[in-house]
Amino acid sequence: MENPRQDILDLLVELVGIPSVSCTPAEAQAGRFIHSRLGELPYFRDNPGNLQLLPVPGDPFGREVVMAFVEADPTVKGTVILTGHYDVVGTDDFGSLEELAFSPLEYTSALKERGLDGDAGKDLKSGDYLFGRGVMDMKCGLAVEMALLSEAARDQSSLGVNLLFLAVPDEEVGSAGMRAALPALSKIKEDRGLDYLGAILTEPGNAGAPDAEGEVVFLGAVGKVMPFFYCAGIGSHVGQYFEGLSASLLASHISLLVEGNPLMADRAGNETAPPPACLSIRDIRNGYSVTIPDRAAVFFNYMTLAKTPAEIMKEMKQVAEDACKRTV
């Protein structure tokens, strides 16, 4: 594994070729592939204890966290974490080209034959972009990190800091990988006396600077909370509407109070996070019924810069109270 652009591209194509959709058996294959490729490096053959596969406890898919440590020479405490996730979302939105979703070279060629509109079309025509599931989110970043780790392992005297590589599963769903990695991060820190200086996430995006030109590096971190509401109503026949209480109506009022509410957009300094967004709202029933829904659920994506979970919980309890008043 080297650092030339072509080698990184070849590694990216291999990574994308693994259909590591979250919560599927193939997701675990991606972690083992990354571990295997890093295991080919002479540094890890000489220091096998510095490369680990850490099982996600009780995971039904057998997923694992890949942790690789390259120690600086001379020895230092300062450590920089390189991290990313190897799972991807599904491919239903690829339509008739779904079978090419994990073959980025072929998929890009197929798109060129069909053409795309707007900025995506310009990017496609330029020949500088590769299309496919997981290319941007975020196997390109993992390929770059693996190449950097390979370079660092060849000359540890050039580092000045230790590098700790962490590739996790399940970023797209429940963060099982990162949650499983936390005890290992704490243990290696304590065992080796490390000082974590910071973490670098090589996931590309421009959500914080949509008009920026050229390369952009974002400093800091954004938190994420997912408030969930379970709405319990009272079922009744639609012909006797006021004998019941619609859980769907309650869920709708909750959504109206939270969704896109600028007053809930968290702030820190000159930065403002996007407002909460509803990710799912639905009644809970197995099929058609002529009764008013007695159960419903709604949950949101809530991005944080300064708010604590306790503060958000207080907000959401007030939302629940206000929504109940509006419903009845």
pLDDT (0 to 100) of residue 288 = 92
Question: By mean pLDDT, which of 35-44, 113-122, 200-209 is the weakest?
Answer: 200-209
- Alpha-carbon gap, residue 56 to 64, rounded angstroms: 5
Q: Determine if the pTM surpasses 0.75.
A: yes
Spell out the alpha helix ranges (H) of 127-236: 140-154, 176-192
Binning pLDDT at 50, 70 and 90, where does residue 4 land? Answer: confident
Residue 8 tokens read as: 């990184």
pLDDT (0 to 100) of residue 218 = 84
pLDDT (0 to 100) of residue 2 = 58
CATH number listed for the domain at residues 223-327: 3.30.70.360
Binning pLDDT at 50, 70 and 90, where does residue 212 land? Answer: confident
- Alpha-carbon gap, residue 257 to 249, rounded angstroms: 13
- Please tell me if the domain spanning 5-90+133-201 has the same topology as the one spanning 223-327: no
pLDDT of residue 70 exceeding 70, the answer is yes
pLDDT of residue 58 exceeding 60, the answer is yes
DSSP assignments along 296-326, one per residue: EEEEEEEEESS--HHHHHHHHHHHHHHHHHH
pLDDT (0 to 100) of residue 164 = 98
* CATH entry, 5-90+133-201, from 3.10.290.10, 3.40.630.10, 3.90.850.10, 3.40.50.300: 3.40.630.10
> pLDDT tens digits for 149-161?
999 999 999 999 9
pLDDT (0 to 100) of residue 17 = 98
> pLDDT tens digits for 15-46?
999 999 999 999 999 999 999 999 999 999 99
- Alpha-carbon gap, residue 321 to 130, rounded angstroms: 49
Residue 45 tokens read as: 């053959």
What does the domain layout of the chain look like in residue ranges? 5-90+133-201, 223-327
Residue 118 tokens read as: 């707007």
> pLDDT tens digits for 274-328?
999 999 999 999 999 999 999 999 999 999 999 999 999 999 999 999 999 999 9
Task: With H, G, I as helix, E, B as strand and everything else as coil, classify residue 191.
Answer: helix
pLDDT of residue 3 exceeding 60, the answer is no
Q: What one-letter code names the amino acid at 39? A: G
pLDDT of residue 1 exceeding 80, the answer is no
pLDDT (0 to 100) of residue 100 = 98
Select the more confidently predicted residue: 268 or 221: 268
pLDDT (0 to 100) of residue 213 = 77
- pLDDT above 90: percentage of residues in the chain: 90
Query: Looking up tokens 């968290």, which residue turns up?
Result: 266
> pLDDT tens digits for 190-199?
999 999 999 9
